[in-house]
Structure 1
């Protein structure tokens, strides 16, 4: 018997988001674990987070997470340490952003995850190189399905804290993974391939069953190994803040996938959930089931084409 539907692993962050619609930077709870866990919980999952924060992590964030139903009993608060923190600055069109790291929490260790509960899905979501292969190996033993967003494994920081992506020569973690999700930029950097079809093929070659690639306003690609589906983005009337949209997507995907649903439908739910989050700043969104499923049905019934070759 699995103790949880979903466990999400990685660092919370304290984000300062600068967007044109706001007069001042918005300080908010951040990190992929925040966006993914909140989405999965709001769509009915029993969720636990494994993370580390510093003594600067606002107590109001922890209270809010617990009030929302996230099990934070495995979040370690370290005295004399800082919480991973970022400053994100968007352009007028919200299509480009710069990311600067302000502080980094200590990495997760095998000791930190030794007591990880058995879960239907464990989603590994690092943001600043805090997860090692050894940690992933421990988690693999506790998960029916292991999901990965490699974003934080590809990041490097220059002397000013600016975030850049670099290839990793250690691809072993992919051998443990069932579901892979990243942006198109990240999968190209990870694999070193010049085109998306080749990059997806490389990820599948490690035994990954499902590959999900987010394309910003153009939606998501889902590759099952047998075919590729293009999942369009839901047409939002207004986009307020794109931060965490990919993490909300995978949270919505996982919330359906644990019920053994069709991956195409799971992707539609993920895309619908992301569209809801885009209309709010940071983690202030609430992904309601009724609205999410209504949007997902629109995507599924109106827009999904048969699998095609890239």
Structure 2
């Protein structure tokens, strides 16, 4: 079985108390690893700079092409203080270009505006199973580059399932709970998962 993932690979700086650590992130990495662990073929459609350790992808047999950008990799800072978590945008890489895929399933999971509306429309046509995690379509930054969510209308036609957080679900539907999930289905998503 073949899975394709459309998302940026990221480098995340995690600050916890007095320590700071860098690690790779982004749905392209996490979904790619999960697919490989389930013995699926995984191809990621992504962009990253020379600062990204592509050896990680090669070692884990995650296929990619045309991913290297002259721009640095998308970077986030995650600051954890007690039970509070703040996500800040440090850098964005260039947008992902459309390339046709013959995958059995597709995951569309932007982290921050790397998938244009035109590319999104084309991707949805390439498989009968398309999972959407809309977080990157909903994210904006405030004056201090902290990530905030904004109400956004997204075309959910041809989407098999939508994965959201409660806050993302509210931004998509202006509603909460079961009614919000029903609203997603009315917009076109066959099923939805809220965590």
TM over 0.5: yes
Residue of 165, 168, 176 corresponding to 1:186: 168
Deviation at 1:176, TM superposition (A): 2.5
**Partners of 1:171 and 1:78 in 2: CA distance:** 27
Query: Which structure has greater helix proportion?
Result: 1
Deviation at 1:146, TM superposition (A): 0.9
Query: Which structure has greater strand proportion?
Result: 2
What do residues 237-294 of structure 1 show as CA deviations (whole Å, max 9, x unaligned)? xxxxxxxxxxxxxxxxxxxxxxxxxxxxxxxxxxxxxxxxxxxxxxxxxxxxxxxxxx
Q: Check whether the contact 1:137–1:176 (CA below 8 A) recurs between aligned residues.
A: no
Work out whether 1:50 is the aligned partner of 2:45: yes
Deviation at 1:213, TM superposition (A): 0.5
TM-score (norm 1): 0.60
TM-score (norm 2): 0.93
Instruction: Give the 5 Å matches for 1:1-310.
Output: 5-19=2-16, 24-57=19-52, 61-74=53-66, 76-79=67-70, 81-92=71-82, 95-108=83-96, 112-114=97-99, 116-168=100-152, 170-172=153-155, 174-193=156-175, 195-214=176-195
- Structure with higher Rg: it is 1
**Partners of 2:49 and 2:40 in 1: CA distance:** 27
Match of 2:168, SS state, is helix
- Structure 2 gap ranges (5+): none
Match of 1:142, SS state, is coil
**Partners of 2:85 and 2:191 in 1: CA distance:** 28
Deviation at 1:185, TM superposition (A): 1.2
**Partners of 2:38 and 2:79 in 1: CA distance:** 29
| CA RMSD after TM alignment | 1.5
Deviation at 1:54, TM superposition (A): 2.2
- Structure 1 gap ranges (5+): 215-310
Deviation at 1:67, TM superposition (A): 0.9
Deviation at 1:42, TM superposition (A): 1.1
**Partners of 2:128 and 2:167 in 1: CA distance:** 28
Name segments (4+ residues, structure 1) moved above 2 Å.
Answer: 54-57
Match of 1:181, SS state, is strand
**Partners of 2:3 and 2:19 in 1: CA distance:** 35
Q: Check whether the contact 2:125–2:158 (CA below 8 A) recurs between aligned residues.
A: no
Kindly tell me the number of residue pairs found equivalent between the two proteins. 195
